[in-house]
Structure 1
Amino acid sequence: MAVLDLDAFLPYRLSIASNVVSTAIATVYQSMFGLRVPEWRLVCVLAEGKGLTQQALGARTQMDKVTVSRAAIALAERGLVARVPNPGDQRSRVLNLTDSGRELYAVVAPKALEMERALFAEFTDAERSQLRDMLLRIEQAVCKIAPAATNDPGAPPP
């Protein structure tokens, strides 16, 4: 009978590492900017491009629709996101950052990059690049073996 050693089980290690990093980031974003991680993710994705529907944001961030909806509502209530009717589907809304949302992003983004630098300070450039590549390969492998585990099975990983 095979024995599962959690400390050596890579999916478990990946989950633990992700949780530790997310908790650290959440603490900083909440205390400094009053943002929960889902809200910050939406701000970042919206800052990278044009407006997106909540469904597209869910696929891009791999967050479920309830989490995306709650984050979008919280950001809209703070005046950081504008929600306008989707011309292609009147049942949905397109979200865009407001000027205040872009100003917040301009303040928070450097802090995020500073945290990333601190987190990976002991890694070489080659190791960071290799880790990024391996994470992408993991995401692609998950899409192949369990497409239902992603919010958008046909889309490449974000």
Structure 2
Amino acid sequence: MPGHALLELETFLPYRLSVLSNTLSQAIAKVYEKRFDLSVTEWRAMAVLGYCANLSAREVAERTAMDKVAVSRAVARLLAKGHIERGTARHDKRQSVLRLSEEGWKIYDQVAPLALEHEQRLLAHLNEEERQWLARILDTLWQAELVESKR
């Protein structure tokens, strides 16, 4: 259209990355949603807590780049289901921290290998050099975005 900037979504990097990310997430989500009644947000919170325990809900939101409200709701559901537990931080007894419960670990130990298998099937479409380039490109874009977001 004359006089308007044309945003071609098919070639617009943020759009393409978002669509790819959503597509990849939904592929594995079908498994854990059906088997464990977990939403994508709930699984991402569990995955972060499986990697790094004793985080606040705010830290979970930061590590996943998810909306704080969505994480707060997911945390509430995970607490209600008994998949995570709330404790207090060692350095500040006023701060609450989260960790996987025994039940949460049972689920994590089933879903994490499925997610890793899915990743390996996807990466099998790339040769070793392409995998290394992909990692470098993603790291470079991540760092660039961190710099841009501080401006």
Please give the range of the TM-score, normalised by the shorter of the 2 chains.
0.7 to 0.9
Read off the aligned partner of 1:37 and give its amino acid letter. V
Read off the aligned partner of 2:101 and give its amino acid letter. T
Q: Which runs of 5+ in 2 are unaligned?
A: none
Does 2:11 align with 1:14?
no
1:100 is aligned to 103
CA contact (8 A) 2:54 2:89 kept: no
1:84 to 67, 87, 95: 87
2:66 is aligned to 63
Higher strand fraction (1 or 2): 1
> In the aligned structure 2, how far is the partner of 1:137 from the partner of 1:81?
34
Q: Which runs of 5+ in 1 are unaligned?
A: 149-158
> In the aligned structure 2, how far is the partner of 1:38 from the partner of 1:19?
12
Q: Deviations over 1:50-92 (max 9, x none)?
A: 31001111111111111111111111111110012446162x4
Read off the aligned partner of 1:125 and give its amino acid letter. E
> In the aligned structure 2, how far is the partner of 1:128 from the partner of 1:29?
26
Bigger shift: residues 4-13 or 53-62: 4-13
RMSD of Structure 2 on Structure 1 (CA): 2.0
> In the aligned structure 1, how far is the partner of 2:7 from the partner of 2:55?
42
2:37 is aligned to 34
> In the aligned structure 1, how far is the partner of 2:135 from the partner of 2:64?
16
Q: Percent identity?
A: 41
CA contact (8 A) 1:53 1:94 kept: yes
Alignment length (residue pairs): 147
> In the aligned structure 1, how far is the partner of 2:37 from the partner of 2:129?
34
When residues 127 and 105 of structure 1 are mapped into structure 2, their CA distance, relative to the original with a 3 A threshold, is: same
2:77 is aligned to 74
Read off the aligned partner of 2:41 and give its amino acid letter. P
* SS in structure 1 at match of 2:38: coil
TM-score relative to the length of structure 1: 0.82
Read off the aligned partner of 2:119 and give its amino acid letter. E
